[in-house]
Amino acid sequence: MGAFINKLSTSVRKRLGIGHSLNELDPDLVARELFFCAPALTPELIAAVKLISPQFRLRGDEPSRRFWELNQNGVCWGEYLALEPFLKALPEPSQVLDLGPGLGRSAIFFKKIMGWREVPFHLYEGAGESTKYTKAGPRFDDSFCGTPEALETLLRHNEIESYRLFDAGEMGGEISGLPGPYDFIYSFFAIGFHWSIVHFLDDLLDLMHDRSIGAFTLHDRFTDLDALSHVPHRVVEMRRSWPRGKTSRLLVLGKTEEALSG
Ligand SMILES: C[S@@+](CC[C@H](N)C(=O)[O-])C[C@H]1O[C@@H](n2cnc3c(N)ncnc32)[C@H](O)[C@@H]1O
């Protein structure tokens, strides 16, 4: 019976309201080295996860913790493998910007896998009490749904020290006040995914120099690549760890072609 339940698909599990199974995850991505480590899922942490990932049904038990940890690590691997050629060509950055870090999985992962522990990461996040996600929609200034205390708990748990948290709420949702330029800017499942990249483009380019790169998850509904025709860019495919078999597109952009060709 247990083996049968484990094999149920993601959609059937959701319909029956039962928890997640590791079988829902991409087996190759979750078998890779673990860089993102999750602590026990307290009620506060579950609430913080729910705000940024309402699609998950997590409980305060070890199977849920392990599912979340492996999925977070797996999605980071999917992004990393897609971006590897660009990242390998990038000199060690002097500063990196994560727009909408959520619970910090990408900052933790990049710092560990790239050997960037000492590189200052600027994390731009705002506290919020509800999720107001759109799909490739317009920009608005109260879209934030982060939990800064939980983000810092995750960073501490992973022994990440060199970072600075910027309060998006205090900054009125603007990014132009951030102390750029940044060598590497990214926003995963945030700018580009929920809110179309087009609305942020000028601000993002102002935070970059000629050799910087930016990477953004694109929503399947994003079709406006023409709006990016004046900016050097590539679109690469990444494998998602959940649900297994699904892919997403990542937009990689620079101010110059040289930035993208290493
Ligand atoms: C789906 S979560 C993704 C979190 C994290 N990047 C990840 O992939 O796990 C979306 C994040 O975008 C943040 N966000 C909301 N509005 C934003 C904006 N205007 N600019 C950047 N991030 C934003 C939210 O607060 C939330 O942390």
10 pLDDT tier (thresholds 50, 70, 90): confident
Mean pLDDT, to the nearest integer, of 114-131?
97
What is the predicted pLDDT for the residue at 15? 72
Q: Is the CB of 219 under 6 A from ligand 1?
A: no
Tokens of 113: 């896998």
The CATH classification number of 2-261 equals 3.40.50.150
Q: Is the CB of 189 under 6 A from ligand 1?
A: yes
The residues spanned by each domain of the chain are 2-261
Beginning with the edge strand found earlier in the chain, give each strand of the sheet holding 96-99 in spatial order.
163-167, 121-125, 96-99, 182-187, 208-218, 247-253, 233-239
Residue of higher predicted confidence among 5 and 117: 117
pLDDT over threshold 80, residue 144? yes
Report the share of the chain in percent with pLDDT over 70.
96
pLDDT over threshold 80, residue 260? yes
**Å from CA of 193 to ligand 1 middle:** 9
Residue tagged 């800064």 (tokens): 148
Q: What share of the chain is helix, strand, coil (3-state, %, to 5)?
A: 35, 20, 45
Mean pLDDT for the chain? Answer: 95
**Å from CA of 195 to ligand 1 middle:** 9
Q: Is the CB of 182 under 6 A from ligand 1?
A: no
**Å from CA of 91 to ligand 1 middle:** 26
Mean pLDDT, to the nearest integer, of 228-251?
96
Beta strand pairing call for 233-239 and 247-253: antiparallel
- Asked if 102 and 191 count as a contact pair (C-beta separation under 8 A), the reply is no
16 pLDDT tier (thresholds 50, 70, 90): low
CA–CA separation, 35 vs 109, rounded Å? 6
By most ligand atoms within 8 Å of CB, the mutation choice from 97, 109, 110, 125 for ligand 1 is 125
Digit-coded pLDDT (tens) for 172-218:
999 999 999 999 999 999 999 999 999 999 999 999 999 999 999 99
**Å from CA of 136 to ligand 1 middle:** 13
Tokens of 220: 């399947």
- Asked if 105 and 129 count as a contact pair (C-beta separation under 8 A), the reply is no
Q: Is the CB of 255 under 6 A from ligand 1?
A: no
Q: Is the CB of 105 under 6 A from ligand 1?
A: yes
Mean pLDDT, to the nearest integer, of 42-61?
97
